[in-house]
Structure 1
Amino acid sequence: MVAIPGGVFHLGSDDHYPEERPVRAVEVPGFAIDIGPVTNAAFARFVGETGWVTTAEQLDPPGSAVFVMTPGAVDLSRPEQWWRFVDGTAWHCPRGPGSSIAGREDHPVVHISCEDARAYCAWVGKRLPNAREWEVAARGGLDQADYAWGDSLVPGGRLMANIWRGAFPWWSEDPAPGTTAVGAYPANGYGLFDMIGNVWEWTSDPFDRTPTCGCSQGTASAVRQTLKGGSYLCAGEYCARYRPAARTGLPPETSTGHIGFRCAQDLPSSLDEAP
């Protein structure tokens, strides 16, 4: 984990999506946060020791939402065209029956509901970060920068996060878009990996706006939980939420192939101030 001293931070953005507005100065107590999202290997240890059965595995029939590329350009207002509920899909077979996490132990665990994430956090004696903590951590010490590394999406032509490269959702430079190993892209100024892209991450805060992102159809639940960070499916023409200020809201029982999480902890009061 990395300790983030408390202080007053500017959160939000006036330049992008409505749910990010306005920019506001917020006092955030110090906290610690995992250097990366929880991996398949870590979640496997949790399941092995506790016998935890995830939300996706408890459904009737068991399964979860899997991203499927479309054969061509489609109406981007209809996410059901690229999401499929696949029977038998779960964290240990993330692409459906017959798939596995073998060789992907260092990738973020996916197909995780908010309840699953909270259970893991409790097991390790931690908690989910709230949305303010998450955004402070993602900014890496850069006040009001658009991205976790500055104001340019691709500084010097260098790709800094696992995001969609191509024409969403039908063409990608990566023939099989998906998660990448934690640490495959540069850390931010706090030494944190994958705060942007790779997988959306659950936070402890409810989502208080009308959803404007079709990242997942979710369910009919009226209650929604805030997620931060964007994912490998975020594309400029569709969902440019690969920024610290960005957020979305999904029903807490949602599980998909692009949702994971990381843990946080309170800091001792002696460490709860910037020097």
Structure 2
Amino acid sequence: MINKKNNFLYIFFIILIPLFSCNKQKDYTGMSWIKPGEFMMGGMNHFEARNDEFPSHKVKLNGFWIDQTEITNSEFMDFVNETNYVTTAEIKPTWEEIKNQLPPGIQKPHDSLFVASSLVFKPSTNKVPLSDVSTWWEWRKGANWKHPFGEGSSIKEIMNHPVVHISYFDALEFCKWKGKRLPTEAEWEFAAKGGKNNVNFTWGNGSLSSSFLNSWEGDFPFFNTIKDGYYYTAPVKTYIPNGYGLYDMAGNVWEWCSDWYDYNYYKKNESLSINPKGPNQSFDPQEPYSKKRVLRGGSFLCNSSYCSGYRVTARMKSSPDSGMSHTGFRCACN
């Protein structure tokens, strides 16, 4: 027999449980359901593909939800206003953080160089060696999601553009706030293919078109024809969606995935992989001292002469504490 005290506690918890459940309920508005399925992940041919995209391997996934658009400045502002979150780019870096990404023995720079900043794209004035990214990237003081081009710039007129200068940690915190998560690399590629197999692009195998994506058209990084209408980011939903109703799965901004980046990861997964979460640790042979996370989808800077990151199998990597003027994200959930 339940006594009066226990009966009160029972009723108390029965009332509270639905309240807590409501707080944890996910909002699927603006998301697409991706049905369970199998697909071949990775490079199917050598059409602009890189070595880290091979070999292709079979992947089986449970169903999941994914945002139809990249997270916008407006959405990210709501998050910051509610939580008072401060992004990585807004925080003055420390020597300890930087030292961990460098080879042993590097001397500490002068303290005056440790300022809150981020990398901003700066077009060159003529042709430059594409092997030297420093010719079109510039560390700019005060550059962050609110000031995408540095001090004095604003997002006031681009609230429906994807938020940029977002680190992996920033993206993770936003997704947690929404009761969601970042997509795995496998989920991202499966969704990007839009229900099609053996395709190079999110729209299929047709040629590139300014109606399909926001990318660099012309001679990178100094001349852009702007046939797609935008020199930098474009408003979300500007271009046609793929078969799953997803926008900008090619171009606009690179998107964070949850996986560590390992150059050799695909070589370790030649048999069927079920709901893969990526490698246990990072390995980038170009920068073995720096841990990297995966990014997908390409950006407004992608061009066939440089990265061709708009291909559905193209992989990019970056330090999780780095945000740049072409880096954003979208969320996923179960």
TM-score (norm 2): 0.74
Q: 3-state DSSP class of the match of 1:133?
A: helix
- Cα deviation code 1:18-45 (max 9, x no counterpart): 1111121110111100000100000000
Q: How far 1:176 moved relative to its partner?
A: 6.7
Is the contact made by 2:211 and 2:240 (CA closer than 8 Å) also made in structure 1?
no
- Cα deviation code 1:224-272 (max 9, x no counterpart): 0000000000010111111111111111011100000000001xxxxxx
1:58 aligned to which of 55, 68, 91: 91
2:75 is the alignment partner of 1:7 = no
Quote the RMSD (CA, aligned, Å): 1.7
2:320 is the alignment partner of 1:252 = yes
Distance 1:166 1:249, change over 3 A: same
1:227 aligned to which of 295, 303, 307: 295
Is the contact made by 1:224 and 1:249 (CA closer than 8 Å) also made in structure 2?
yes
Task: In structure 2, give the amino acid aligned to 1:5.
Answer: K
Q: How far 1:153 moved relative to its partner?
A: 2.6
Q: 3-state DSSP class of the match of 1:181?
A: coil
Task: In structure 2, give the amino acid aligned to 1:127.
Answer: R
Q: How far 1:149 moved relative to its partner?
A: 0.6
Q: 3-state DSSP class of the match of 2:308?
A: coil
Q: How far 1:80 moved relative to its partner?
A: 0.6
Give % identity: 42
- Give unpaired runs (5+ residues) of structure 2: 1-30, 93-113, 265-286
Distance 2:69 2:53 in 1: 24
Distance 2:134 2:211 in 1: 29
Q: Which has the larger displacement, 79-88 or 18-27? A: 18-27
2:59 is the alignment partner of 1:26 = yes
Distance 1:158 1:72, change over 3 A: closer
Look up the match of 2:222. Answer: 170
Distance 1:252 1:220 in 2: 14
The structure in which a higher percent of residues are helix is: 2
Look up the match of 2:14. Answer: none
2:295 is the alignment partner of 1:265 = no
- Cα deviation code 1:73-108 (max 9, x no counterpart): 000000011000000111011011111111101000
Q: 3-state DSSP class of the match of 1:150?
A: coil
Q: How far 1:158 moved relative to its partner?
A: 5.1
Q: 3-state DSSP class of the match of 1:46?
A: helix
Distance 2:215 2:55 in 1: 25
TM-score (norm 1): 0.90
Q: Which has the larger displacement, 197-206 or 19-28? A: 19-28
Structure number, greater radius of gyration:
2
Q: How far 1:63 moved relative to its partner?
A: 1.1
Distance 2:60 2:134 in 1: 39
2:136 is the alignment partner of 1:82 = yes
1:204 aligned to which of 240, 258, 266: 258
Q: How far 1:159 moved relative to its partner?
A: 3.4
- Give unpaired runs (5+ residues) of structure 1: 211-218, 267-275
Q: 3-state DSSP class of the match of 1:72?
A: coil
Distance 1:110 1:221 in 2: 25
2:97 is the alignment partner of 1:67 = no
Is the contact made by 1:162 and 1:197 (CA closer than 8 Å) also made in structure 2?
yes
Task: In structure 2, give the amino acid aligned to 1:7.
Answer: G
Is the contact made by 1:221 and 1:251 (CA closer than 8 Å) also made in structure 2?
no
Distance 1:158 1:112, change over 3 A: closer
Distance 2:56 2:75 in 1: 36
Task: In structure 2, give the amino acid aligned to 1:170.
Answer: F
2:166 is the alignment partner of 1:112 = yes
2:244 aligned to which of 186, 190, 193: 190
Q: How far 1:143 moved relative to its partner?
A: 0.6
Q: 3-state DSSP class of the match of 1:135?
A: helix
Tell me the number of residue pairs that the alignment of Structure 1 and Structure 2 aligns: 257
Look up the match of 1:121. Answer: 175
Distance 1:199 1:45 in 2: 20
Distance 1:248 1:10 in 2: 19
Which structure 1 residue ranges, 4+ long, deviate > 6 Å from structure 2?
none
